[in-house]
Amino acid sequence: MDNLLPNHIEEEDEVPKKYYYSMGEVCEMFEVAPSLIRYWHNEFPEIRPLKNKKGNRLFRPQDVETIKLIYHLLKERGFTIQGAKDYLKGQRKIPKGDFEVLESLKKIRIQLQELKDQLK
């Protein structure tokens, strides 16, 4: 699984492999409010969670991957909603190798910051 999680999610906190994730689990993964996930669900047709009998959204792993990409585009790269929509519609997704490079760079940044803090 590509590890394009927000900076605050470490490798050991990687998304557990499940068939479905509740709204609460998805919100916890990204440290965002349920209203934001609902908004993204309404704005991005690529997010297609199932709904149970109660109407609760059940996110599949591919939905979580899409949310990771949207989170990356909006929160980390500074895209607008329309820019992220255009990016996804144009199927110009970041290649898998680029995700891995980004995650490696994030880990290196964390390690360097820890070293810098130890030198203080």
pLDDT tens digit sequence for 100-110: 777 788 889 89
- The pLDDT assigned to 26 comes to 94
Q: Where are the alpha helices (DSSP H) in the chain?
A: 23-30, 34-43, 61-71, 81-89, 96-119
Average pLDDT over residues 42-56: 91
| Nearest residue to 23 (alpha-carbon basis) of 5, 36, 14 | 36
pLDDT at 117 over 80: yes
State yes or no: pLDDT of 39 exceeds 90: yes
Greater model confidence, 2 or 72:
72
What topology is assigned to 11-119 in CATH?
Multidrug-efflux Transporter Regulator; Chain: A; Domain 2 (1.10.1660)
CB atoms within 10 A of CB 33: 10
> What mean pLDDT do residues 84-95 have?
73
